[in-house]
Each structure stands twice: as C-alpha cells, then as structure tokens.
Structure 1
Amino acid sequence: MSTTASAPLRLGIVGFGIMGERLLRAARDQPDAPIRPAGVWDPSPEAAARLSGVDPGLAMSGSAAAVVENCDCLYVAAPPAAHIPLAEAALGAGRAVFLEKPLSHELEASRAFVARAEAAGARAAVNFPMASSPAVAQLRAWLGAGAVGAPRSLEIAVAFAAWPRSWQRDASGWLSRRAEGGFTREVVSHFLFLTRRLLGPLQLEEARATFPGGDAAESAIEARLLAGGIPVLLRGGVGTTDRDDTNAWTLRGAAGAIRLRDWSVAEREGPEGWAPAPDALPNERMRPLVLRGQLEKVAAMTRGQPQDLATLREALEVQEVVEAILAA
C-alpha cells in the first residue's frame, strides 16, 4: 500500500483488550503521532462498549478482514491462538504487522510462521515495549560506560499478589489457563527479551514450574539460564507479594551493579545503596513515553525504514525458552 512519507499511517487493531486500548489511546492522544487508529475489531460486546467510550468517532468494524482492508499496519492484540492467522492474513494483503507476544500458543506453529515471514521479507515486529524504554536506554548507557565492568551474574525476580493481575481480570478466560496464559508468557517474556538484547543468546540449563492443578496456569517457576555465557537465575511466583506486580532485573559485575525495578526505574548500586537515575519515572508515567517510541518505530517499519523493534526471530527465541520452562 503506497503512503506518503509525511502522512500519518493507518493503524488497524484486532483485539480491543487492555493492550489494544492502550495503543489506540497512544495513537489518538498524540496530535503529531506518525500512525493513527483507522479501524478496530473485537467480537466482544463489552469491547464495543468500551470503544465507544474511548473514541466515540471510531465505530467498531464489522470484521477483522475489514480492519485489514483499511489499514497500513495491523496491530494483533487478540489472544495468542489468533495471532498467526491474523498476521498471515494481513501480510498476505500487503500490510505490515505488529504482533503481541507470544507469537502463538503452539511453538511449532511459531517456528513455521517465522521461517515463512523471514523468507518473504515481511514487515513484521513484536510488541516488547522495552525496545523503546528510556530506562532500558539508561541501563545500556551504564553498561557502555563500564558501570558493571565484566558482567558476572543476572537475577530476574517477578512476583504477583494474584494471577491474572487485578486490571487483567476481564481476560482471565485465557490468561489464567495453562494453554495460552500464565505470568511466564505474559510477564517473564519481557525480561527474557531484555536479557537477550543486552547480554546475548539465551540457553536454558534447568527449570521447574509449579501448577495448581486442572488447566490453571503456573503458580511458580524457577530456572537457571545462560545469556551470552553469563549465569542467570530466574524466579517467579503468585501469592508472594501483596502488590499487583513487582519485578527486578539485577545485573552484577566486577565493577558494580545495575537494575531495572518495577518495569521503569533504572537504578545503580552505590556505597549508600540503590540510587535511581535522575530522570527515573514510575511505570504509569513512563508508559506514554514508551508507547510513543513504539508507535514511531511501527511507522518506520511500515515504511520499510530502519528501526529496532523486537524481531520475529527474537520473539521466537524468547518463546522457546518460555515454553521449555513451562514444560519442565
């Protein structure tokens, strides 16, 4: 689809849950955004009601196909089982695709999809927002300046009061179940992507996952990995905090330590303990900056320009580790 270099690109959204709404708001609320919402489809009546409240001027489309027809780039924010069919329909129509993770609920389907997309030179990327995080940029700058020295170890810890988190309860039908949901796919994958980006290829050495029974998603995990040869200890659990969500990515080396705390706060360890970066922000205030960065990169991808969104291959490598942990 031809577009001028200056005109905002048209973003189609299939799946109007939390993530679909967040990206729509980010595109709509920025007057100079390089990409604008042009169509939304979700089969849920509740989603249609929420859309009318969020953007009364944007009516719910009649089908996913109608959204694909009228967009330059399709954002796939549906549950995982629908990701690849929607992505392939959009790519087949000549559109770019921005996917939520995981690529699919079936690992072999993800591998086959990535192989086909790479062979075709598809314009496609995956929504790991840390690719546009100022806090991650700060971590990278500290690493480059020698704040850690030679990295020696990494620890990743995530904890939840309950799963799904309180603001995700509307999606508990799939998020709470073993087939497509769970915090390892939904949350830990972000930190594995960060680890892969900053330290190198991931290799799982051992893992244990605990499930409460039936088809419920995992309640705890523990794993040891290597990332670019650096030892990584990963732990996660439900019911281990009174907060919705808490997490820390802590890298230690010969010269010091740095960490990312609660998604958005970059910190460096000093003689008096941990000190945040001067421009550190809580996640609620950081998120709009991150989404803006993601949208700018989505526009670049759609135009065939260089950008550093998470690639399909990176997302596949993360998914392979996640599924191996859950199968342990």
Structure 2
Amino acid sequence: MSPIRLGIIGYGIMGERLLRAALNHDPAVVAVAGLWDPSTEAMQRLAKDLPQVPRLASAAAVIAACDCLYIAAPPAFHLNYARAAFAQNRAVFCEKPLAVDVAEAEAFVAEAEKSGARAAVNFPFASMAGVAQLLRWIDDGITGAVQSIEIEIAFAHWPRPWQMDAAAWLDARAQGGFAREVGSHFLFLARRLFGALTLQQHSVAYPEAGRSERAISATLTAGKIPVTLKGGVGTTDKPDHNTFTIIGPQGRIRLRDWAVAERLAADGSWQEAPDAIPNETARPLTLRGQLDKVAALTAGRPAPAGLALATLREAAEVQRVVETILAG
C-alpha cells in the first residue's frame, strides 16, 4: 500500500494542525505533497517552522502534486479549489462551511454526488474518542431512550486568542462568527447521532456594527429528538467553553470542552470517564483518526471502524441551519 499524497491549501490554525498531524502520522499511510498559502507571511512562517515541507508556487501546483487536497482556506475560496481538484480526479477534504452562500453549497454537493467525487468535510467529532464513549454509554442504557439534547457554547471573547491573526474575516458577518466556526460542529454531531436537523425557532444578536454575532439561541430537532442551542460571547471567563448534553429518563451524559466525556452521578456531580483526556491531548489523536479515514477515502478502501467522515451533504445541511439562524 502506497501512502496517499496530501496537498494543503492554507497555513492558518487549521492548516497547521492537520499538517503537523500528517507529518507525525505513519509515513506508509500519508505523505505531505506540499503546501501553498497566498500569504507571503504564512509561507515564510512555514519555511521557518517546518522547512522540510515542500512550499509550492500555487494552488494549481498543490493539486497537481497530490492525491487528496485538504482545503484550509477561508470559506469564500472552498468551492473553487474543490472543483479544481475534482477536475484533476483528486479527492477533497475540506474545512467547513462549504461556502459563503447556502444555495451555491447545495448546488456544489449535487454536482459532486452526480460525478461520484471523493470528498469529505473536517468535522473532527467523527473521530473523537469522547464521542465514542457517549455512544457506549447510550448502548449500555445509562440514559435510557434519549429524550433531548442541550448544546451550550460560550466564549470570553471572539475571535478566540489563537485566532486573532485571522480576525479580519473571523469576526465579520460574511464568513465569520462563532455559530459557523464552533456551533456547526455540535449541530453536525446532533445530526450524525440522531438524524436530520429541522429548525423551529431561532434568534441572533449583532450588538456591534459590522462584526459577527454575539449571541444565538435556537430550538430544533435532530430526527425526532428535541435540541436546544445557546451561544454567547462574554458569557464565560474561558476562551472557549462548551457542553453537548444528552438527556434521558435514566440519566444524563455530556461532552464537555470538545473532548471530555462525563456522566451525571447520583449526587449531582459530573464524573469524567476513566480514560477522559482534555482536548489539547485529544486533538492529535483525533486528527490521526481523521487522516486514517481520509487515506481510506482517497484510496477507495473501506473506512476504519467507527463513525465515518462527514459527507458533503451533511455539511450543507448543517450550513443551512447555521445560516438561517444568523439571518435572524
């Protein structure tokens, strides 16, 4: 088995994280073909940080060199790069959201499905150990039949400290905001575990002119399961705090701060799973799992055990819900 050649467009936070995960992966599974970013500063930083990575001259050069293209550019550029990769019979692994415009994203999904293109979207919960633990608890009857889901996302400030270099678009209404950047992950998880999303009521607050949202709330269903979503900036002293709580007649379980699986004890305290680890430790393991699945997708092999990578259609459905919330 030859390794898949992974090409990367974008050397921001996400591009760097997946690049480092690929460099630390089994070289028999994945090899980095090269990276390009339109920012001269980003390319200079790459040369300093990881000089062994081929720095290519253009997006076209990356596509030509790879078997699978990972797109970590801002959302406005996703579809152009993906279409260019499909035209060269490359697989695509894309960051979310698929596009700025929902209708354009949905048209793209229809095109890709019709052509049989190999593609997936990077929702890391598909490979998160904490999610696997929640599923084991559900199977063990810890909650009983699931009755509802509560999602809460909170930030001290937006963008978060590690994203400030990209604040120009991450805090603008066209492409940024925490609902797209963070909320979409938890909506994907609800959709993947319990079924298609149907939005019922929603609200959004834009108290600062020209900047992204500072509060959202929504009620919806995932399949037949009621879901509540609440999010806000300035509602916690943590840079990033979130919970995804699954509620049933027998008990409650949750995923806290992206990675930590917990169950509600009889005394009312939340107890971590014995093997729970924080997101900083879990992230490289999660990305390793994502890359294993990307390699299988690219090579046309059966996917590893566990949840599959997010499909383009799932990503488009989540995007429609998020954009409807943000439209107010």
Q: So what's the TM-score if we normalise by structure 2?
A: 0.96
Q: Is the 1:143–1:149 Cα contact (8 Å) retained in structure 2?
A: yes
Counterpart Cα distance in 2 of 1:113 and 1:215: 29
Runs of 4+ in 1 over 4 A off after TM superposition: none
Q: Could you say which residue in structure 2 is the equivalent of 1:290?
A: 286
DSSP-derived class of the 1:151 partner: coil
Deviations 1:124-181 (A, max 9, x none): 0000000000100111111112111111121100000111100000111110000000
1:83 aligns with 2:78: yes
Could you tell me how far apart the structure 2 residues matched to 1:122 and 1:129 are? Answer: 21
How far the C-alpha of 1:213 sits from its partner, in A, is: 3.6
Please point out which of 270, 275, 280 is paired with 2:276.
280
User: Which letter does structure 2 place at the counterpart of 1:175?
Assistant: L
Whole-Å separation in 2 of the counterparts to 1:207 and 1:31: 45
How far residue 32 of structure 1 moved from its aligned partner, in angstroms, is 4.1
C-alpha deviation, 1:24, in angstroms:
0.6
What residue is the counterpart of 2:67 in the other structure?
72
Alpha-carbon separation, structure 1, partners of 2:222 and 2:214: 25
In 1: Cα distance, 2:175 partner to 2:302 partner: 32
- Aligned match for 1:162, one of 154, 157, 161: 157
Which structure 2 segments of 5+ residues have no match? none
The answer as to whether partners of 2:151 and 2:227 remain within 8 angstroms in 1 is: yes
Q: 2:17 aligns with which of 6, 17, 22?
A: 22
Alpha-carbon shift at residue 30 of structure 1 (Å): 2.6
- Equivalent pair of 2:2/2:28 in contact (CA under 8 Å): no
CA-atom RMSD in angstroms: 1.0
Rounded to whole Å, the distance in 2 between the matches of 1:127 and 1:229 is: 26
2:5 counterpart SS class: strand
Instruction: State the alpha-carbon separation in 2 of the partners of residues 311 and 58 from structure 1.
Output: 29
What displacement does 1:35 show? 1.2
Of 134, 138, 160, which residue of structure 2 is paired with 1:143? 138
1:217 aligns with 2:222: no
Aligned-partner Cα distance in 1 for 2:28–2:193: 28
The residue number in structure 2 matching 1:3 is none
> Quick one: structure 1 residues 33 and 296, their matched pair in 2 at CA, closer, same or farther if it must change by over 3 Å?
farther
Shift of 1:215: 2.3
Identical-residue share of aligned pairs (%): 59
User: 2:116 maps to what in 1?
Assistant: 121
Of 86-95 and 37-46, deviating more is: 37-46
More deviation in 41-50 or 69-78? Answer: 41-50
2:78 is matched by which residue type in structure 1?
H
Equivalent residue runs for 1:247-262 within 5 Å: 247-262=242-257
Q: Deviations over 1:22-75 (max 9, x none)?
A: 111001123446111111010112211221123212242110000000000000
User: Greater CA deviation, 290-299 or 25-34?
Assistant: 25-34
Q: Which runs of 5+ in 1 are unaligned?
A: 1-5
In the TM superposition, 1:1-328 aligns within 5 A as: 6-32=1-27, 34-272=29-267, 273-307=269-303, 308-328=308-328
- Partners of 1:7 and 1:55 in 2: CA distance: 24
Over residues 75-99 of structure 1, what are the superposed CA-to-partner deviations in whole Å (9 max), with x where a residue is unaligned? 0000000000000000110100000
Contact conserved, 1:165 with 1:244, CA < 8 A, in 2? Answer: yes
Cα distance change on mapping 1:301 and 1:123 into 2, 3 Å: same
SS at match of 1:105: coil
In 2, the alpha carbon distance for the partners of 1:310 and 1:59 equals: 28
1:27 and 1:33 in contact (8 A); partners too = no
Shift of 1:274: 1.2
Q: 1:315 corresponds to which letter in structure 2?
A: A
> Partners in 1 of 2:8 and 2:266 — Cα distance?
48
Q: Which letter does structure 2 place at the counterpart of 1:241?
A: T
